[in-house]
Amino acid sequence: MLKLAIITSFLSQTKDRFHEYNKPLNLDEKFALLANIEGYSGVEIVYPYEVSDAQKTRSALDKYNLSVAAVNVNVKAEPEFRNGGVTSLEQAVREKAVQFIKDAKDFATDIGADKVTCCPLGDGYEFAFQNDYALAWKHLIQTFSEAGDYRKEIPLYVEYKPSETRGRCFVDNAAKALCLLNDIKIKEMGVTLDFGHSMYGSENPAEAVSLLEASPYSYYIHINDNDGKWDWDYFCGTKHFLDYVEFLYYLKKYNYDDFFTSDTSPTRWDIRGTFEANSRLTTKIWQLFDRIDVAELESLMAKGDYIETWKFIEQNIFSLK
């Protein structure tokens, strides 16, 4: 049975540079909305800006019978983090970023969450000769080591992204995220793989899953889509359908059983309809692999004749018979 969640900040008002979308909702109203969207049982909540009161959050979760997929700790919005948090040249700023993550782990413990995820979006660069890359890597290891070592029973997951808010983020792909964890050497850490980040970063998300699966670290999944040029957070399958099918194929093959969390922005589209599209498509593809002859697909792949594999895809995935 698939476990599906939503990053709850997308259930309320969102903004781009020109427009506002949807109306603002408080936490209870967001949870009430989510509880009535078909297919979902979990939430990923943003700490400390969306939630900070553990008792109120726990009460709201119980009221709507929701589980916590993850606590997403924001280490980019404070003015001090404008030029980077975990890699800041100022030790006091790095210490503040670490404390944010530690506080998020405390909060996660209090509300019954099993993980904290952090995407260090403010940590990166734009220009040549702007940063000492080796020093930045050293700071990444030091800060995430300290944060990861705190409350190991609540693992810290590092989410990678090619860019935003920086022109290029220091942790911008799955391989680099794994290099970071290998240097840190804390087994109670993991990687958050966002399908859209992987796609617009010129990765193959399915290959990234396989890379993470071969590592000693856990991974957690965000689902969405984009045009391969920017992180638009469209709903699933709208731009890269077959890539998404392959992505889910490998997750099912490797018995992924954590939440699939919608990191999807409704903007111009109905909130409920957007997230139900994610749920509906993901569930149907997941169930498809119970009906088709996966052994035959794997046999065709092993033979290396892609024309024959493509015939199988036409008939069994596209249903063009």
**Residue-wise pLDDT tens digits, 139-148:** 999 999 999 9
In 10 A of CB 228, how many CB atoms?
Answer: 14
Residue 244 CB partners (closer than 8 Å, separation 6+): 195, 205, 225, 236, 237, 281, 285
Q: Is residue 308 part of a domain?
A: no
Q: Is residue 299 part of a domain?
A: no
Residues 311 and 297 sit within 8 Å (Cβ to Cβ): no
Judge whether residue 61 has pLDDT over 90: yes
Q: Is residue 8 part of a domain?
A: yes
Q: Is residue 132 part of a domain?
A: yes
- Predicted TM-score of the model (pTM): 0.97
Tell me the mean pLDDT in the region 60-78. 96
Tell me the mean pLDDT in the region 118-140. 98
Q: Give the pLDDT band (50/70/90) at residue 23.
A: very high
pLDDT at 156: 98
Q: Is residue 301 part of a domain?
A: no
Judge whether residue 54 has pLDDT over 90: yes
Q: Is residue 159 part of a domain?
A: yes
pLDDT at 17: 86
Q: Is residue 317 part of a domain?
A: no
Tally the domains of the chain: 1
DSSP assignments along 132-173, one per residue: -HHHHHHHHHHHHHHHHHTTTTS-EEEEP-S-SSSSEESS-S
Residues 10 and 40 sit within 8 Å (Cβ to Cβ): no
Tell me the mean pLDDT in the region 30-47. 97
**Residue-wise pLDDT tens digits, 162-207:** 999 999 999 999 999 999 999 999 999 999 999 999 999 999 999 9
Q: Is residue 305 part of a domain?
A: no
pLDDT at 321: 84
pLDDT at 112: 97
Token pair 């193959």 is found at 204
Rounded Cα distance between 287 and 1, Å, is 9
**Residue-wise pLDDT tens digits, 251-294:** 999 999 999 999 999 999 999 999 999 999 999 999 999 999 99
3-state helix, strand, coil in the chain (%, to 5): 45, 15, 40
Sort strands 116-118 and 156-159 into parallel, antiparallel or unpaired.
parallel
Q: Please give the mean pLDDT across all residues of the chain.
A: 97
Residues 136, 221, 183, CA angle at the centre, nearest 5°?
30
Residues 193 and 205 sit within 8 Å (Cβ to Cβ): yes
pLDDT at 146: 98
Task: Note down the domain range covering 286.
Answer: 4-291
Residue 132 belongs to domain with CATH number: 3.20.20.150
Q: Give the pLDDT band (50/70/90) at residue 1.
A: confident
